[in-house]
Amino acid sequence: MNIVCCDLEGVFTPEIWINVAERTGIPELRITTRDEPDYDKLMKYRINILKKKGLKLKDITDVISTLNPLPGAKEFLLWMRRLTQVIIVSDTFIQFGMPLMEKLDFPTLLCHSLVINDDGAITGYNLRTTDPKRKTVSALKSLNYRVIAMGDSYNDTSMLLEADAGILFRPPENVIRDFPQFRVTTEYNQLKDIISEELNNNNL
């Protein structure tokens, strides 16, 4: 049986931190895993900036609640959910992800979580596990699923490598160059064709 593991940001939604950076006017928050592949370093940097600026969780989730899924994302996701099972695997935090899950009709989201103090400030984060995207694929394979994975960035490549089929969606040039084994797509209709082909060639 097939199951699809999808990244969230860049695939179904805008990049959360970049939008938070723009809407809060804090350009330092623009840095993403595309710029800093060491996620732990990246997060400590972000939390430190929020602390300096006095921004709390609600300030960030208020911004996130104004974001919308990428055009066509909800329809594409629904198309997939009618045909197969889908799990979104993201390096975001559950507190950030949920306003966007609501707009996508609550697909299953596996991600991390933030530590919030009594004042509502973000004081830390729990990385649920190291290399969670790859491990999620591995866990699903241990349950005898054939895993199709899609993502847009470097931090998705261990997931795509572990999967039975890996697809890049709107990746930057360096990811395309470094991972020539993955099919590259830029439109949901292309993704539909590839997913259909994968499902048809590898029945339920």
Contact at 8 Å (CB) between 127 and 112? Answer: yes
Contact at 8 Å (CB) between 122 and 47? Answer: yes
Residue 107 sits in the site that holds its own copies (CB under 8 A): yes
Residue 94 sits in the site that holds its own copies (CB under 8 A): yes
Structure letter (DSSP) for residue 85: E
Stretch of 21-29, 111-119, 163-171, 188-196 lying at the interface with its own copies (CB under 8 A): 111-119
Site for its own copies in 2-21 (CB under 8 A): 3
Stretch of 24-32, 43-51, 102-110, 156-164 lying at the interface with its own copies (CB under 8 A): 102-110
Residue closer to its own copies by CB (options 181, 201) is 201
Whole-angstrom distance, CA of residue 4 vs CA of residue 137: 9
Residue 113 sits in the site that holds its own copies (CB under 8 A): yes
Structure tokens at 134: 């790859």
How far out from the chain centre does Cα 155 lie? 9
Nearest to 95 by CA among 112, 107, 108: 112
Stretch of 16-24, 62-70, 76-84, 168-176 lying at the interface with its own copies (CB under 8 A): 76-84
Residue 47 sits in the site that holds its own copies (CB under 8 A): no
Query: In the set 68, 126, 174, 202, which binds its own copies (CB under 8 A)?
Result: 126
Site for its own copies in 138-197 (CB under 8 A): 139-140, 142-145
Q: How many CB atoms lie within 10 A of CB 24?
A: 17
User: Does the annotation mark 7 as catalytic?
Assistant: yes
Burial of 170 (0-12, 13-18, 19+ CB in 10 A): middle
What Å distances lie between residue 149 and 2, 66, 115, 125, 180, CA to CA? 11, 28, 29, 26, 15
Instruction: State which H helix or E strand residue 184 sits in.
Output: strand 183-185
User: Does the annotation mark 9 as catalytic?
Assistant: yes
How many chain residues bind its own copies (CB under 8 A)?
A: 36
Residue 78 sits in the site that holds its own copies (CB under 8 A): yes
Residues belonging to the active site: 7, 9
Interface with its own copies (CB under 8 A)? 1, 3, 78, 81-82, 85-87, 94-95, 98, 101-102, 105-110, 112-114, 126, 128-129, 132, 135-136, 139-140, 142-145, 203-204
